[in-house]
Amino acid sequence: MTSKKKVQIWDGNVRDAALTILIAVDKNQAYSNLLLNQTIKKYKIDAKDRALLTEITYGTLQYKYTLDFYLEPYIRTKIDLWVSWLLRLSLYQVVYLSRIPAHAAVNEAVEIAKKRGHKGIASMVNGVLRSIQREGLRSIDEIGEPIKKLSIETSHPQWLVTRLIESYGVEKTTEMLHENNVPPTLTVRVNSLKASPEEVLKMLEAEGINAKQSTLMPECIHIASGQVTHTECFKTGFITIQDESSMMPANVLNPKAGWRVLDMCAAPGGKTTHIAERMNNVGSILATDLHPHKLDLIDETSNRLGIDIIQTAPVDGRKASELLEKESYDAILVDAPCSGLGVTRRKPDIKYTKREEDFESLHKIQIQLLENAVKVLKTGGRLVYSTCTVDRLENEGTVHEFLASHPEMELVPIENLPNELLKNQQNGMLQVFPQDFGSDGFFVAAFQKKGES
């Protein structure tokens, strides 16, 4: 069942565009969020179609294993990759989207199959989907092995389910895996250099945006509806898009006006600009990143927000101490590369592309970054380590290994966060889970350099 037909990515057909994105994610290990945004931007897709495209693309990815479990009894021959994704995409709509009539989803699948393949494929797609409609979904309860059942139910690899249960137990892991399939709330950070949250809320309301201030982080606003990036409020730099959890590091770093600060893995610049706002745009920040092209994003955001104390430089943080002056920074943020398990709901492909060996290699990079940060941090200076993962090796494991080889560094209590967050602090480290506040999973730890021991 092969097809060599070329299919354009956007011809007004939302489902066909979603299928193209899903195939690219699978074949090229492309990032679903980037492809989705590129597609929406390139083809100027309107709000209604944009919402459906986003929902069915992410939803199909999020429930890939679950959908395969439902489809398995009805697929009796080897099928092409695109046909597999078409079946998943169509069944996702039938099972999870009550406002889309099942017959409409099936009919659309058949038409796409005809366009991309031939009548034989269309007939097979129609037969599979109609059979499931007629006979009903097989029950996940028939899976006797608990970890496999949880894996299929939440669509996470079994090895990952096992790893998380070993770290956090069955109850917390189950909550987390289910939460990973809940669409995220869009949040923005108020630019304190320009306005208060109350003033920004009035501006957004005047532009037709339904929003409310967070009860957790005062500078955070939750967007309920409306295209916030199209507003003058956004364009003129009163707000910037950032997840609520990722607002923690700048607050924990707590930099003062006039300080010299280093942000070692800075792109795309959300935390860097937050640090600048905390410093009242007074002092200096060096924002470095391994990828030079990503530094343009920091410059663009800084300009939009009216921040002029940030300089950018293409520096591999693992070699920072060879390029930067020793003991010259008052504060350093190491928001390290990580497995990203805390942002699975935003990037569902993470579940399927990560491998168990990745954690050890990431852990080594994290240690190297911290090793370099220490050398350029002043005695008495503050170092904050953060990740957007929930993996214990990358978080507590990295902290403990780092401390073991650096007696001049000590963990200090995390401060300058709401009490609701601080009560979860353990031994100077804070792990936020996706289910805690409906934000991303995030980890933060704070150190101070006390001098050689």
| Active site (catalytic) residues | 388
* 157's tokens: 């690899």
Dist. CA 239–CA 195, nearest whole Å: 9
Q: What angle do CA 398, 401, 406 make, to 5 degrees?
A: 120
Which alpha helices (DSSP H) does 180-294 contain, by range?
197-206, 232-235, 248-253, 270-278
Dist. CA 336–CA 399, nearest whole Å: 12
Torsion of CA 390, 392, 393, 396, to 10 degrees: 110
Residue 112 near residue 15 (C-beta atoms within 8 A): yes
Residue found under tokens 């700048």? 250
What are the residues whose beta carbons fall under 8 Å from the beta carbon of 359, sequence distance 6 or more? 339, 391, 393, 394
Strand partners, 401: none
Rg for the chain (alpha carbons), in Å?
24
Dist. CA 431–CA 440, nearest whole Å: 11
* 5's tokens: 């037909």
* 319's tokens: 């070699």
Residue found under tokens 């104390």? 309
Which alpha helices (DSSP H) does 324-453 contain, by range?
350-353, 356-376, 398-404, 419-422, 434-437
SS3 category, 387: strand
Dist. CA 157–CA 153, nearest whole Å: 11
Residue 343 near residue 409 (C-beta atoms within 8 A): no
Strand partners, 411: 447
Cα–Cα separations (whole angstroms), residue 204 to 197, 300, 431: 10, 22, 32
